[in-house]
Amino acid sequence: MRAVDLADADGMDELCEYAAHVAPDILVNNAGFGGYGPFVESRPSDEVAMIATNVTALTMLAKAVLPGMLKRKAGRILNVGSTASFAPGPFAAVYAATKAYVLSLSEALAEEVSGSGVTVTCLCPGPTETGFARRASMSSTRVFKGPVADAAGVARTGYEAMMAGRRLAVPGPVNKLLVFAIRLVPRRVVAFISRRELSPVPPA
Ligand SMILES: NC(=O)c1ccc[n+]([C@@H]2O[C@H](COP(=O)([O-])OP(=O)(O)OC[C@H]3O[C@@H](n4cnc5c(N)ncnc54)[C@H](OP(=O)(O)O)[C@@H]3O)[C@@H](O)[C@H]2O)c1
């Protein structure tokens, strides 16, 4: 077992070397965090760490294990995106952009390795009951004041999709409908609605 800070370049190098050496059959890229507030006010160091964790570490870990999986003609990668992967996120702009990257990378890799025995799945949950909202200072936003999914159910959906080799898993009918509707609406309207959902709920 190895525990590293994925935002730390040395820790990442060490973990990638270890991952390539142990040649796992399954890689789950779940670690990630968000942030909340106007883009011009957020601390650059927080966003550098967010990009390093959500984007760089996820990419480099996939790169470390994929050659071995392809050689063995077997392997499963599960990357955790978000419903934020599908829409811009005003006041969580960098977080939503990192999750858009996760979906794009996952879909591209899934296509690159298709037919090889290796699969890449992107799990895109909506708001879920974990430590995420508190850490991201999003607890008082509309998005986390509405229905919030149970983490075990979301994990089960991701696991089943990964084992079935599906490319995309969006847990819950409401999130599925949301993701479908986003494709039909102009991007500017999506950004406007997203801004509303990411606004704080006024105190009663
Ligand atoms: N909860 C939601 O509403 C929601 C919705 C959509 C997508 N997601 C995504 O789901 C994934 C899991 O998050 P969660 O909801 O379970 O939140 P969480 O309870 O805050 O857990 C995040 C996990 O990521 C780890 N992590 C964060 N930064 C790390 C770093 N630099 N190095 C190593 N580990 C790090 C944390 O480890 P430590 O505890 O040691 O810091 C923790 O285990 C994330 O990718 C998140 O973006 C969450």
Which of 30, 106, 143 to probe ligand 1 with, by most ligand atoms within 8 A of CB? 30
As annotated, the active-site residues are: 95
Give the CA distances from residue 26 to residues 1, 53, 78, 92, 165, in Å, rounded to whole numbers and listed in that order: 15, 19, 8, 30, 12
Share the mean pLDDT of the chain: 96
Cα 23 to middle of ligand 1, angstroms: 24
> Residue 74: what pLDDT?
98
- pLDDT-derived band at 200, boundaries 50, 70, 90: confident
Q: Structural domain boundaries of the chain?
A: 9-197
Among 155, 188, 187, 186, which residue's Cα sits nearest to residue 172? 155
Nearest ligand 1 atom to the CA of 129 is 1
Ligand 1 centre distance from Cα of residue 30 (Å): 6
Give yes or no for residue 203 having a pLDDT over 90: no
6 CA closest ligand 1 atom index: 32
Residue nearest to atom 8 of ligand 1 (CA): 82
- Residue 54 alpha carbon to ligand 1 centre in Å: 9
Which amino acids bring their CB within 6 angstroms of ligand 1?
A: 5-7, 30-34, 53, 80, 82, 125, 127-128, 130-132, 135
The closest of 169, 52, 56, 57 to 107, measured between CA atoms, is 169
Cα 31 from Cα 152, distance rounded (Å): 16
Which residue intervals of 76-150 are DSSP H helices?
93-112, 132-135, 142-145
Bridge partners of 149, per DSSP, are 128
Residue nearest to atom 6 of ligand 1 (CA): 82
Distance, CA 135 to ligand 1 centroid (Å)?
Answer: 9
pLDDT at 204: 67
Regarding the domain delimited by 9-197, which CATH topology (the fold level of the hierarchy) does it fall under? Rossmann fold (3.40.50)
Q: pLDDT tens across 67-121, in order?
A: 999 999 999 999 999 999 999 999 999 999 999 999 999 999 999 999 999 999 9
Res. 171 pLDDT band, cuts 50 70 90: very high
Q: How many angstroms is it from 53 CA to the middle of ligand 1? A: 10
Strands 75-80 and 26-29, bridge-based pairing: parallel
Stretch among 3-7, 138-142, 199-203 having the lowest mean pLDDT:
199-203
Residue nearest atom 42 in ligand 1 by C-alpha distance: 31
Structure tokens at 169: 């898993």
Distances (CA, A) of 8 to 20, 73, 137: 18, 31, 23
